[in-house]
């Protein structure tokens, strides 16, 4: 009876370690809006991918000049458009950071060097106010 308790405990620990590893694998590399601004000034090869819709690009948060716009809804089918940037760092941005996290995960799984911009365009616009 005691041996079965140890076996169950051991199986439970193994299961927890597998779950923990699976969650770590899905973690996405992220940068802050301030770090994005620094990289924009220091890395001329930086690519910024905005995964919002075209309508959002003209909304109140606007867009960053020179970005590539591919909405997250169609990103997987349009990955080929980004192949020429496989050796570049890609900063992925959306409105708040959730869609860009999904897009960053997709890019990483397809061999791109991508980072999610935490807080998205909302944070990016807030850092403008801080600079002024």
> Given this model, what pLDDT does residue 128 score?
81
Q: What is the pTM of this model?
A: 0.79
- State residue 7's pLDDT score: 53
Mean pLDDT of 63-83: 97
Task: Write out pLDDT tens, residues 82-129.
Answer: 999 999 999 999 999 999 999 999 999 999 999 999 999 999 999 886
pLDDT digits (tens, 9 = 90+) for 1-42: 566 665 565 555 544 544 444 444 457 899 999 999 999 999
Identify the structural domains of the chain with CATH numbers, from first to last: 28-131 (3.40.250.10)
Q: What is the 3-state secondary structure (H, E, C) of the chain?
A: CHHHHHHHHHHHHHHHHHHHHHHHHCCCCEECHHHHHHHHHHCCCCEEEECCCHHHHCCCCCCCCCCEECCHHHCHHHHHHHHHHCCCEEEEECCCCHHHHHHHHHHHHCCCEEEEECCHHHHHHHHHHHHC
């Amino acid at each position: 009876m005691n041996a079965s308790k140890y076996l169950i405990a051991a199986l439970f620990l193994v299961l927890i370690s597998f779950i923990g590893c699976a969650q770590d694998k899905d973690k996405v590399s992220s940068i802050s809006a301030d770090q994005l601004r620094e990289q924009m000034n220091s890395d001329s090869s930086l690519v910024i991918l905005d995964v919002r819709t075209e309508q959002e690009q003209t909304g109140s948060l606007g867009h960053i000049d020179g970005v590539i716009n591919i909405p997250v809804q169609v990103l997987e089918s349009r990955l080929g458009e980004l192949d020429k940037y496989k050796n570049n760092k890609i900063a992925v941005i959306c409105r708040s950071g959730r869609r860009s996290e999904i897009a960053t995960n997709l890019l990483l799984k397809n061999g791109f060097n991508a980072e999610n911009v935490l807080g998205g365009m909302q944070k990016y616009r807030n850092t403008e106010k801080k600079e002024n």
